[in-house]
Structure formats: C-alpha cells, structure tokens
C-alpha cells in the first residue's frame, strides 16, 4: 500500500463533466483547495464525451434544463476567453442551425406548443410552424403527414465536443489541478463521509469532497459508497452518411415523431435513433448496431427527406447514454447519507451541453454549500431517495 495523500476535492472521471467541475473550482477565487482528477483513459476513447453528436439546444420541458443549456451556450460563445492558456485555446467551431421538432399527431403538437410557451418565457426564441411554413423554410422536407413543427433559434446548433473537453482540462491543469491516470476501485465511508478514495494502483487518497463524474459507470461509484443510483448504460449508435444530391438549405437538428434525428455535419449528415429495445447493456459494450440504420433509421429519413432515399453510410460508432431510469434527468448534488459525495450523473444524452452549468453548480455547492447562480435543487439526489421523478420529456 502506497502513502496516503490528501486532496480537498477528488473528481472521479476526468471527461467533460469531471473537467468542468475541476475547471470551475479552480477558477473560483473563493476556493483555494487542492483538486485531483482521477481518469484512467487519457485518450478518452471510451468516454461518452468523444462519442457524442455534439449539439446544444434550448428546447427542453423543464425551465431549469433550459437555463442550464443557455449557460452552456454562453460558455461556448465566450469559449476562447473562458479557457485560453497563454493566448491559445482549442477551436470550438460552433455552427448555429437550430433544432426542428416535427409532429404528426395533435396531442404531440399540443405538447410542443405548450412547451414553446414555457421556453419563450425563459427567453428562447422558438416558433411554432404550420406545414406550409415548414415547406417554405425547409423545401426539401416532405410535409404530407405533418401537422406542424417547432423550430428553435440559431443559438442552438453543434460544436466540437473534443475542444470543449480539452479547453476545460487544459485550463484546469494550468490552474493547478492534478490529473492522475488511475482508476477508482473503492471508497471508504465513515461517519456519513467519504474519507478515502482507493485507486487501482494501490494508492489511497484522503479527501475533503468527492465528485462522481464517472459517466455511464456512475452507479458503480455510488455502490462503493453504499448509495443507490438509477443510472444505467444504454447503447446509442451514430451514423454519418452521404447523399448524392446535397441539400442547399439549412438542415437543423431535425427530430422526427419516430424518434429519429438527423442534421448536417459538414459535407455529410449525421443521424441516430432510440433503439426499439432500449435496455441496459454491458459497461464495455460500445458495439455498432448496424441493423438500426437499415431497419429503423433509413425508412424514416426517406419518408421526410425524399433525397435521402439514396444515401451511403460512410462511418458509424457506438456509444452509451448514462440513462437515468427514474426521470431521464441529471442528478446533481450531495448524496443524502454521504454528504461529501457529489453526484453529476445521469445526463441521459445531453451532458455535453450541460457540463458547463453542472461543473459550475458542483463548484458552488462545494465552495459555498449552496447554489449561487442556477438553482438546481430540483435535480438533487433527494428525489432519487424518495423516488419522486422530475421528468424531462425532451430526450433525444
Ligand atoms: C451517441 C451519443 C450522442 C450524444 N449527443 C449529445 C449531444 O448532442 N449533446 C449533448 O449535450 N450530449 C450528448 N451526448 C451525451 C454526452 O456525451 C454525455 O452526457 C457527456 O459526455 C457525459 O460526460 P461525462 O464526463 O459525465 O461522462 P464520460 O464522457 O463518459 O466520462 C466519464 C469518465 O469517467 C471515467 N471513469 C469511469 N469509471 C471510473 C473510475 N472508477 N475511476 C476513474 N474514472 C472513471 C471514464 O474513463 C470516463 O472518461 C451524447 C451521447 C451519446 C452516446
């Protein structure tokens, strides 16, 4: 057993969420403690962060999620100033396209419309469109079956998720945060606190606070502390395809009623869908579900975009959502019975855009014992204990 070191904060996982927490703590003048980020995979090859589709939107059904993503947009807009080190920063490459939600059922359209009111109240410039307006704005779409749609503003769009992670990490390291290539194997809990973090290498680290930023493996960390966490890995395959007749209009991130989504990705198009059998998979399962494209996605693409009748998949990759089975919403804040273990988990497919606000929120909780900016109390761990869902309906 190697010597016991001590850090004020230990982040378990150093991809986008762990790095965001480390970044905001180390940027906060009121926090002067030491920060260790334990991350076994410095290539991030298997992290969700490098397997995402890198989009950001304001169109959520819960005001708190709208505010969280709006801060994400602000952070991305000021990315260089936020993360620069010696005048350099990674290129975030934001492209504003909006998100377009299509509807062909009246009850679904009613939900889109009532959520639009809620989103507008939060300052989101969303618009309801009738089929004729959809046709005018997006003439490549077949609107025959549509009853209407909801379109977001161009402050929604896509960006380079790798750059977001690298920018946060580089600046955090510049600020004095230590990244250690190791894996957390166990936790010692005594008196309602995590007192030690045990690493695979045999090193033990004493700690003030611990942040669970282990992505789809978050439940394994919660288990080590004896806490329940309803977060499981769910397979999601991404496909990039070519179309021989390119579309000369904006192709927003378009979500069909069947649960298929697509958008332009430079000279190609990117797509994915909710699998028909959406169940927990093994933690290491990053397999591509190739059949999904042919059986589930392609027919839907061709239904709404006749040009997509002829397409060719050029690349694909497997990924996992860290899926919160209680309410498809993130869990942030301390565990009730282990009060220095902070959750930042269960993003259910929107954690890249939420990372800046969540990192800042975790930093506020650790530094001040309360939120100072966005109040995310409704997303806390208490609802997990009491099994009281706080459901986000707009999960893509
Ligand atoms: C197909 C797909 C599309 C997506 N599209 C979007 C999108 O368009 N917009 C959006 O906002 N989000 C999207 N997401 C979700 C987003 O990728 C995730 O929510 C986000 O990356 C989560 O970041 P994270 O840091 O929590 O987890 P991860 O990136 O998975 O990182 C977790 C890290 O924890 C480390 N770790 C695990 N166990 C341990 C341990 N025991 N000890 C130490 N370290 C450990 C891992 O090595 C890993 O690096 C998508 C996800 C997928 C799969």
User: How far apart are the C-alpha atoms of 158 and 263, rounded to whole Å?
Assistant: 9
- 107 in a structural domain: yes
Are 191 and 109 in a shared domain?
no
CB of 347 closer than 6 A to ligand 1? yes
Distance of alpha carbon 337 from alpha carbon 9, whole angstroms: 18
Whole-number Å distance between alpha carbons of 274 and 396: 8
Domain span at residue 207?
4-85+160-230+327-385
Domain contains 392: no
CA gap 161, 238 in Å, rounded = 15
Q: Ligand 1 pocket test: pick from 41, 65, 351 the residue with the most ligand atoms within 8 Å of its Cβ.
A: 351
175 with 270, same domain: the answer is no
Dist. CA 167–CA 63, nearest whole Å: 28
CA 158 / ligand 1 centre spacing (Å) = 17
Q: Tokens representing 302?
A: 């061709």
Q: Is 261 in the pocket of ligand 1 (CB under 6 A)?
A: no
Q: Is residue 90 part of a domain?
A: no
Whether residues 12 and 80 share a domain: the answer is yes
Do residues 77 and 25 share a domain?
yes
Q: What is the pLDDT of residue 85?
A: 98
Last residue in a domain, options 301, 324, 347:
324
Whether 163 contacts 92, CB under 8 Å:
yes
Q: What are the tokens at 364?
A: 């506020």
Give the ligand 1 atom nearest the CA of 17. Answer: 25
Query: What is the number of domains present in the chain?
Result: 2
Identify the domain boundary among 324, 339, 373: 324
Which residue of 21, 52, 56 sits with most ligand 1 atoms within 8 Å of its CB, as the best mutation to test the pocket?
52
- pLDDT of the chain along its 396 residues, tens only? 555 799 999 999 999 999 999 999 999 999 999 999 999 999 999 999 999 999 999 999 999 999 999 999 999 999 999 999 999 999 999 999 999 999 999 999 999 999 999 999 999 999 999 999 999 999 999 999 999 999 999 999 999 999 999 999 999 999 999 999 999 999 999 999 999 999 999 999 999 999 999 999 999 999 999 999 999 999 999 999 999 998 999 999 999 999 999 999 988 999 999 999 999 999 999 999 999 999 999 999 999 999 999 999 999 999 999 999 999 999 999 998 999 999 999 999 999 999 999 999 999 999 999 999 999 999 999 999 999 999 999 999
CA–centroid distance, 311 to ligand 1, in Å, is 29
Question: Quick one: pLDDT at residue 1?
Answer: 53
Q: What is the reported pLDDT for 2? A: 59
Give the integer Cα–Cα distance in Å for 54 and 355: 12
In a domain, 91, yes or no: no
Does any ligand 1 atom lie closer than 6 A to the CB of residue 17?
Answer: yes
Q: Looking at the structure, do residues 21 and 69 belong to the same domain, yes or no?
A: yes
Q: Is the CB of 54 under 6 A from ligand 1?
A: yes
Assigned domain for 125 exists:
yes
The residue among 303, 324, 345 that closes a domain is 324
Q: Which two tokens stand for residue 357?
A: 């606000």
User: How many degrees, rounded to 5, is the angle at CA 92 between CA 33 and CA 289?
Assistant: 100
Ligand 1 proximity of 69 Cβ (cutoff 6 Å): no
Cα–Cα nearest to 355, from 73, 38, 96, 58: 73
State the residue for tokens 């979500």: 255
Pocket of ligand 1 contains residue 213 by CB under 6 Å: yes
Atom 14 in ligand 1: residue holding the nearest Cα: 349
Ligand 1 centroid from CA 16, angstroms:
7
Ligand 1 centroid distance, CA of 361 (Å): 18
């Amino acid at each position: 057993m190697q010597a016991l070191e001590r850090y004020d904060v230990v982040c378990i996982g150093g991809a986008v969420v762990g790095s965001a927490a480390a970044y905001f703590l180390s940027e906060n003048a009121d926090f002067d403690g030491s920060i260790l980020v334990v991350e076994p995979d410095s290539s991030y090859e298997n992290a969700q962060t490098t397997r995402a589709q890198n989009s950001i939107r304001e169109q959520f059904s819960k005001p708190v999620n709208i505010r969280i993503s709006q801060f994400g947009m602000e952070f991305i807009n000021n990315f260089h100033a936020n993360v620069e080190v010696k005048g350099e920063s990674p290129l975030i490459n934001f492209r504003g396209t909006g998100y377009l939600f299509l509807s062909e059922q009246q009850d679904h359209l009613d939900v889109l419309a009532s959520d639009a009111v809620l989103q507008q109240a939060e300052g989101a410039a969303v618009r309801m469109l009738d089929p004729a307006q959809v046709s005018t704005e997006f003439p490549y779409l077949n609107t025959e079956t549509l009853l209407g749609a909801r379109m977001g503003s161009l402050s929604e769009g896509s960006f380079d998720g790798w750059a977001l992670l690298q920018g946060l990490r580089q600046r955090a390291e510049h600020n004095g945060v230590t990244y250690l290539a190791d894996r957390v194997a166990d936790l010692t809990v005594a008196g309602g606190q995590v007192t030690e973090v045990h690493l695979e290498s045999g090193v033990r680290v004493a700690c003030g606070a611990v942040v669970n930023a282990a992505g789809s493996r978050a439940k394994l960390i919660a288990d080590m502390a004896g806490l329940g966490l309803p977060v499981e890995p769910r397979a999601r395959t991404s496909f990039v395809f070519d179309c021989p007749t390119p579309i000369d209009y904006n192709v927003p991130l378009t979500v069909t009623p069947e649960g298929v989504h697509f958008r332009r990705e430079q000279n190609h198009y990117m797509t994915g869908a909710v699998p028909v059998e959406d169940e927990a998979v093994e933690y290491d399962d990053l397999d591509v579900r190739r059949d999904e494209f042919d059986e589930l996605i392609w027919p839907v693409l061709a239904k709404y975009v006749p040009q997509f009748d002829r397409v060719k998949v050029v690349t694909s990759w497997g990924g996992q959502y860290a899926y919160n089975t209680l309410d498809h919403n993130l869990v942030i804040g301390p565990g009730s019975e282990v009060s220095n273990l902070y959750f930042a988990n269960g993003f259910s497919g929107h954690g890249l855009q939420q990372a800046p606000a969540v990192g800042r929120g975790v930093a506020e909780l650790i530094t001040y014992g309360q939120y100072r900016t966005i109040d995310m109390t409704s997303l806390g761990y208490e609802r997990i204990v009491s099994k009281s869902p706080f459901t986000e309906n707009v999960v893509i």
